[in-house]
Structure 1
Amino acid sequence: MTRSTRFFEIIQMLRRASAPMTAAQMAETLEVTKRTIYRDIASLQASGLPIDGEAGVGYILRAGYDLPPIMLDEEEREAIVVGLALLGRTGDQALEKAAVRASAKIADAAAATPGLPETFRVSEWNQIPAGALSPADARRYIREETELQITYRDEAGRCTDRCIHPIALIYYIDVVVLVAWCVLRDGLRHFRLDRVQAVKPTYGAFHTSGEALRRIWQSEDPSP
């Protein structure tokens, strides 16, 4: 999460809070340290944001401050909220937490209570097994274009060491698949995350080529 994104999240939490929020509460939600929250609050206060409070007591956002509303019609809101709820099927806990935050923002904009409308129910059931590479880490490596060294177990149980350039994730109901350029095979391959036995970033030469590899992948398999 970038610093500017944290600032926005902190503002949103303080806007929704009915009582002072402590740095510990915000740090747990954003998965950062309390020291990071203290620095962020100080920066926001220095920029003129009306935040009152202090370390150990809690913080509030003074009345009168607001953000521009999100203009969504009813069906647009329902589509987004149902889609966010479906993330529970992916087994990606980081995305699920992000979905909760996003749902709260949509609810704020619509002046409604967070969560699904009463007319909807979305099952969060999944049977996706875990591997050495989590979906959250895989997404981060894709964003950062980080080369990886992995140990991969195939369907027959054979293990091989691979150097890969991750470019995309495919979420199925029972498995998450990583699309990557495999240096060993000199081509694009699909790797089930639950079969990744070990992973280590190598930070090799991969930057700026992710988008080109994604275009190749889409041209070869436009409907994965």
Structure 2
Amino acid sequence: MNFCERLYELHKILSTHRLPVSRQALQERLQCSPATLSRLIRHLRDRYGAPIEHDREGNGYRYRRDGNQPIDLPGLWFTPAELRALLVLHQLLTQSHPRLLDTLLAPLRMRLERLIRHPYLGGQELSRRVRILSQGHREPDAAIFEHTAAALLDRKRLEIRYHARGEPRITERCLSPQRLVFYRDNWYLDAWCHTREALRTFALERMQAARLTEESALDVPEPELDRHYASSYGIFAGPPRHTAVLRFTPERARWVAEELWFPGQDGEFLEDGSYRLRLPYADARELILDILRYGPDVVVESPLELRRAVAERLRNAWYHYRDEACG
């Protein structure tokens, strides 16, 4: 343990013990010398005002308590690892979606900024050295995002104008929001669509307008939501109707085996070093695109309709490059 970790551990020990803890016990728990323990105690007292007292009768150290109130020390609520995790949250707030819910999130952002300037994290050095890169992000309208979030939390229905990808016209929908989903750098709304009388998923950036109504939202039970949205691969939900069987070459096997494609995936290494992956799916569109990322390093073994769909995509790609490929 480094000095900061020992400091945090000492605070935790004294916070959770009502009886005095001996120096010997503290040295063993903190894996430190008597001199280091003395420095830790002085640091907690002088820097953070910790109410540490030595109990002569108990021959040990404890926190002086006023009543039954717990001891809280500013700056020592988190371990260094936990503070680094907060840095990730801070960068998500400032880089990925700087305008969404800015007024509501501003106090949280300010608190995070104070935390990551903690001297044990190197001041501002950590925030300058860590980046979170966003890819394929499509920003929704901030007002629409806020209306959607308000409808979700207040359990009200939402009326929207929606232009789905690949559809020629804009439709009007009445929704009972169920869940906001941040998936692959983009926001989606899982909702009961009263227009279609079914569960649907809506990309927030495809919403043209949104209006919060006073009518109460329909609540779909959690188990039903999980069966619909969490039992199949990708953002296109629904109960799984097929199982994709994919075989990756030995050159890509180790890489793919370490990826999480889907929580219910089933994978195995084969004798020739290749890797076979099984995935349940309801809609093949997203799965086809992910398969194509691996080009010649993956083969769809089944089902036949998925194999044919991937082959058709590859033939179309070949059509665009056939002149160069043939020399």
Common fold by TM > 0.5: yes
Residues 1:89 and 2:99 aligned together: no
Aligned with 1:181: secondary structure? strand
Contact preservation (8 Å) 2:148, 2:210: no
Contact preservation (8 Å) 1:85, 1:122: yes
Q: Which runs of 5+ in 1 are unaligned?
A: 1-66
**What is the percentage of aligned positions where both structures have the same residue?**
21
Residues 1:122 and 2:128 aligned together: no
Contact preservation (8 Å) 1:104, 1:114: no
Of residues 73-82 and 84-93 in structure 1, the stretch that sits farther from structure 2 once superposed is 84-93
| Cα deviation 1:13-57 (Å, max 9, x = unaligned) | xxxxxxxxxxxxxxxxxxxxxxxxxxxxxxxxxxxxxxxxxxxxx
Q: 1 CA distance for matches of 2:125 and 2:183?
A: 24
Aligned with 1:93: secondary structure? coil
Aligned with 1:203: secondary structure? strand
Q: Which residue of 2 aligns with 1:104?
A: 113
Question: Would you say how many aligned residue pairs link Structure 1 and Structure 2?
Answer: 155
Q: Which residue of 2 aligns with 1:179?
A: 190
Aligned with 1:75: secondary structure? helix
Contact preservation (8 Å) 1:147, 1:205: yes
Distance change in 2, residues 1:133/1:100 (3 Å): closer
Q: Which residue of 2 aligns with 1:147?
A: 157
Q: 2 CA distance for matches of 1:200 and 1:169?
A: 17
Distance change in 2, residues 1:79/1:151 (3 Å): same
Distance change in 2, residues 1:121/1:198 (3 Å): closer
Q: Scaled by the length of structure 1, what TM-score is found? A: 0.55
Give, as a single letter, the amino acid of the residue that structure 2 aligns with 1:144: D
- For residues 1-224 of structure 1, what are the structure 2 equivalents within 5 Å? 69=74, 71-87=77-93, 88-90=95-97, 93-94=100-101, 97=106, 100-107=109-116, 113=123, 116-123=126-133, 127-131=137-141, 134-155=144-165, 156-173=167-184, 175-206=186-217, 209=219, 212-222=220-230, 224=235
Give, as a single letter, the amino acid of the residue that structure 2 aligns with 1:186: E
| Cα deviation 1:120-144 (Å, max 9, x = unaligned) | 2333676414348532332222111
Q: 2 CA distance for matches of 1:173 and 1:120?
A: 20
Higher relative contact order (Cα pairs below 8 Å, separated by 6+ residues): 1
Q: 1 CA distance for matches of 2:140 and 2:187?
A: 9
Contact preservation (8 Å) 1:150, 1:196: yes
Q: 1 CA distance for matches of 2:200 and 2:217?
A: 16
Q: 2 CA distance for matches of 1:94 and 1:110?
A: 30
Distance change in 2, residues 1:119/1:161 (3 Å): closer
Distance change in 2, residues 1:76/1:174 (3 Å): closer
Q: 2 CA distance for matches of 1:175 and 1:134?
A: 14
Measured after TM superposition, the shift of residue 114 of structure 1 is: 6.5
Distance change in 2, residues 1:129/1:189 (3 Å): same
Contact preservation (8 Å) 2:156, 2:217: yes
User: Whose Rg is larger?
Assistant: 2
Aligned with 2:216: secondary structure? coil
Q: Which runs of 5+ in 2 are unaligned?
A: 1-71, 236-327
Q: 1 CA distance for matches of 2:83 and 2:179?
A: 27
Contact preservation (8 Å) 1:132, 1:194: no
Q: 1 CA distance for matches of 2:125 and 2:145?
A: 24
Distance change in 2, residues 1:199/1:121 (3 Å): closer
Give, as a single letter, the amino acid of the residue that structure 2 aligns with 1:79: A
Q: Scaled by the length of structure 2, what TM-score is found? A: 0.40
Distance change in 2, residues 1:174/1:203 (3 Å): same
